[in-house]
Amino acid sequence: MRIELVKRPERSQLFAAFSPFIALGLTLIAGAIMFTVLGKDPVEALYYYFIDPLREVWSLHELAVKAAPLILIAVGLSICFLSNNWNIGAEGQFIMGAIAGSILPVMFPEFQSWIVLPLMLLMGIAGGAAYGAIPAYLKVRFNTNEILTSLMLVYVAQLFLDWMVRGPWRNPEGMNFPETRTFSPSAVLPEIWSASGRANWGFVFAIVAAVALWFMLSRTLRGFEVQVLGQSPRAGKFAGFSQSRMVFFAFLVAGGLAGLAGISEVSGAIGQLRPTISPGYGFAAIIVAFLGRLNPLGIIAAGLVLALSYLGGEAAQISIGVSDKVVRAFQGMLLFFVLACDTLILYRVRFVGSSAAKTVEATQNV
Amino acid sequence: MFEGILITIATAATPLLIASVGELVVERSGVLNLGVEGMMVMGAVTGFGVALATGSPWLGVLAAIIVGALFSLLFGFLTLTLVTNQVATGLALTLLGLGLSGMLGESFVGQPGVKMDYIYIPVLTDLPLVGKLFFGQDPLFYVSLLLTAGVAYFLFRTRAGLTLRSIGDNHTSAHALGINVIGIRYLAVMFGGACAGLAGAYLSLVYTPQWIENMTAGRGWIALALVVFASWRPWRVLAGAYLFGAVSIGQLHAQALGIGVPSQLLSSLPYLATIVVLVLISRNRRLTMVNTPASLGRPFVPDR
């Protein structure tokens, strides 16, 4: 038996809408099998992963805390991926945004005013965007593969952060722990509704960014340019669109949003810099972007799903003793299923036995 | 002392070389598999676990090769049969590999591993200056050199190698000539996976005989960069791998000497070197254009 693809005459709207759901369903099935192999009751395990975290209000707040960076990064990445710029270094841009944004509260802790927070956010955006500009510049100027350069810069950023918090920025009163001083209240991103939970303004930024980019992509010339240059660089050239400017645009937007996510996370959720400030948000956001079908509004939903998997991982570890490492395996599987299901949008899949294949070929040759 | 440094350089270069040569064959067939890091880390965890369970590093190596090849089949099925985007699918393979290996290897953390013995040939190994370097290293070091020579011979001196390169340069014409494009690509992808698995096993059985989560630390990505650096030629991959081995060992020695530069900044040198090297090699657009397999990363659906 073999599998044959038959191109559809046009994109299937049905599968374009449903493929992420099919992928989620398949991931759940695969997950259930995995838990059975691990010797856990699959129903119970999936319950702790995907239902339990949704049952209480504080836990919904945690969901927003985790979803905010994922959505912010992923909507930026969607611009990159749509325009054929493979930025996979968002994790590094996130870290550099966090570092740049922390300059004020770490180096000038006495400076306390209402303006501190807006300045921090701006510096975070600038830091992330500047770090994103490196692979963009190298791609435009030297034709260097942006996949590899942006990824290498992630390792550099991680090591740089490690050095900063152990070296120059280590908290003088911190008993030699590798962390910066805790931010003063004026440098902390406020909670949206602190009576019921921890969710901070980062989530609002994420929603605003997603809606703004959705508008840009679907209603403006710049959005059209992104799509044209992504799908057919040649057509874009004839239309007078500049490929190199698009490279910079995509990387600056993605880097800036990743930087905003970084400073929001540090200022809102952590309150100081530590050697590790992200459980791999920059990479999980790649999955979010594809699960949301590179549509900023879809990405909001996808970000919540991935955030739920992080929370569920913690819940499952506490209640049924499943390792929190399982989450990342889950997320990896999800991306596989998403990509596989996207095939159904453009192709019809046909299973043919070897004898049947010959008949088909014979009829086609007539 | 000098010999010792050369040997450690070879030890740092060998996993890069093995993974890179495998990926080179994959890319020569026109497929870009960005999942090297994921396949490598799967090889590392498998090799470690099997060697620990059986006590035999060789069984660990064998298992790592098999798992690497099987894991790459996942990528092959998606990109070749379902024609998904190769860049995204390769990334997915890396993310899945890092996640799965972390899960599988959880009970291995902190356990002393099994180390592969070095070769010892009486007389030859005891030769002064070069004895240990040429005749006293771990067996996989010699495997890596044979592999490079074998791939160089296969690609440029055999008919099958020519067929594989023709697919990478123009899959439509190759298909029209009656060549089974997808079948050969499957084999190439599996070869790349097997090599990445072997390279991973080298890390957990020779380089540092223990299991640490994410122990590949970007080596899979550096291996990918090496293929570009080598402009898709096996012997240049060898040169590149040893250059990188020298950079990473050099920074380790600099850290040990305590030259006053923070260790984290020295540790980032191999990654920065990768970027510099990529810039130097890709700024010459004509050179890259000539050498890059023309169908690299392009989807192929046979018309029937």
d(CA A277, CA A262): 8
Q: Which parts of chain B have pLDDT scores under 70?
A: 1, 304
Q: What is the pLDDT of residue A246?
A: 95
Question: Residue A347 forms beta bridges with which residues?
Answer: A7
> In this complex, is the C-beta atom of B279 within 8 Å of any C-beta atom belonging to chain A?
yes
In a domain, A147, yes or no: yes
d(CA A313, CA A135): 34
Q: What ipTM describes this predicted complex?
A: 0.91
Position A63: which residue type? Answer: L
User: Would you tell me which residues 58-87 of chain B have a C-beta closer than 8 angstroms to some C-beta of chain A?
Assistant: 74, 78, 81-85, 87
**A137: nearest CA in chain B?**
B279
Cβ contacts of A143 on chain B, cutoff 8 Å: 282-283, 285, 288
In a domain, A177, yes or no: yes
Tokens of A330: 């889950």
d(CA B106, CA B87): 29
Dihedral sign of CA atoms A69, A73, A76, A81 in order:
negative
In a domain, B261, yes or no: yes
Q: What is the pLDDT of residue B164?
A: 96
> In this complex, is the C-beta atom of B91 within 8 Å of any C-beta atom belonging to chain A?
yes
pTM above 0.90, yes or no: yes
Tokens of A357: 């294949």
Residue A199: which region, alpha, beta or left (left: phi > 0; alpha: psi -120 to 50)? Answer: beta
**B301: nearest CA in chain A?**
A5
Number of domains in chain A: 1
Contact A336 B89 (CB under 8 A): yes
In a domain, B119, yes or no: yes
d(CA B29, CA B12): 27
Give the rounded percent of residues in chain A with a pLDDT score beyond 90.
61
Q: What is the pLDDT of residue B304?
A: 64
A366: pLDDT strictly greater than 60: no
The CA-based dihedral angle spanning residues A243, A246, A247, A249, taken in that order and rounded to the nearest 10 degrees: 160
What average pLDDT does this structure show over A287-294?
A: 94
In a domain, A35, yes or no: no
In a domain, B302, yes or no: no
Closest approach of B265 to chain A, Cα-based (Å): 7
What average pLDDT does this structure show over A287-316?
A: 92
d(CA B191, CA B193): 5
* Cα–Cα nearest to A81, from A278, A358, A338: A338
Tokens of A356: 């049947």
Q: Strand, coil or helix: what is B218?
A: coil
Minimum mean pLDDT among A166-170, A345-349, B19-23, B178-182: which range? A345-349
C-alpha B287, offset from chain centre: 23
Q: What is the pLDDT of residue A157?
A: 97
CATH of the domain at B221: 1.10.3470
User: For B124-158, how does the pLDDT look when each residue is reduced to its tens digit (9 = 90+)?
Assistant: 777 777 777 777 788 999 999 999 999 999 999 99
What average pLDDT does this structure show over A168-196?
A: 87
Q: What is the pLDDT of residue A55?
A: 86
In a domain, A49, yes or no: no
Burial B169-191, CB ≥16 within 10 A → b, else e: bbbeebbeeebebbebbbbbbbb
Contacts of B45 (CB under 8 A, 6+ apart): B101, B104, B105, B108, B200, B204, B211
Instruction: Report yes or no: B24 and B234 within 8 Å, Cβ to Cβ.
Output: yes
Q: Which of A26, A309, A328, A338 to mutate to test the interface with B (most CBs of B within 10 A)?
A: A328
d(CA A196, CA A198): 7
Number of domains in chain B: 1
Minimum mean pLDDT among A200-204, A351-355, B15-19, B245-249: which range? A351-355
Q: What is the pLDDT of residue A283?
A: 93
In a domain, A178, yes or no: yes
Distances from the Cα of A249 to the Cα of A70, A133, A148, B241, B283, angstroms: 20, 9, 19, 35, 22
In a domain, A31, yes or no: no
User: For A220-250, how does the pLDDT look when each residue is reduced to its tens digit (9 = 90+)?
Assistant: 999 999 999 988 889 999 989 999 999 999 9
CATH of the domain at A240: 1.10.3470
**B81: nearest CA in chain A?**
A3
Expressed as residue numbers, the domain containing A188 is 63-321
Cβ contacts of B100 on chain A, cutoff 8 Å: 329, 332
What average pLDDT does this structure show over A124-135?
A: 97
- The more confident residue out of B38 and A35 is B38
| Residue B80 CA neighbour count, 13 Å, CB half | 25
User: For A247-258, how does the pLDDT look when each residue is reduced to its tens digit (9 = 90+)?
Assistant: 999 999 999 999
Expressed as residue numbers, the domain containing B69 is 2-291
Closest approach of A113 to chain B, Cα-based (Å): 34
In a domain, A344, yes or no: no
In a domain, B255, yes or no: yes
Q: What is the pLDDT of residue B1?
A: 66
A156: pLDDT strictly greater than 70: yes
Instruction: Report yes or no: A259 and A48 within 8 Å, Cβ to Cβ.
Output: no
A129: pLDDT strictly greater than 80: yes
Q: Residue A161 — pLDDT band, cuts 50, 70, 90?
A: very high
Instruction: Report yes or no: A235 and A156 within 8 Å, Cβ to Cβ.
Output: no
d(CA B126, CA B124): 5
In a domain, A75, yes or no: yes
DSSP string, A241-296: --HHHHHHHHHHHHHHHHHHHHHHIIIIIISS--S---SSHHHHHHHHHHHTTT-H
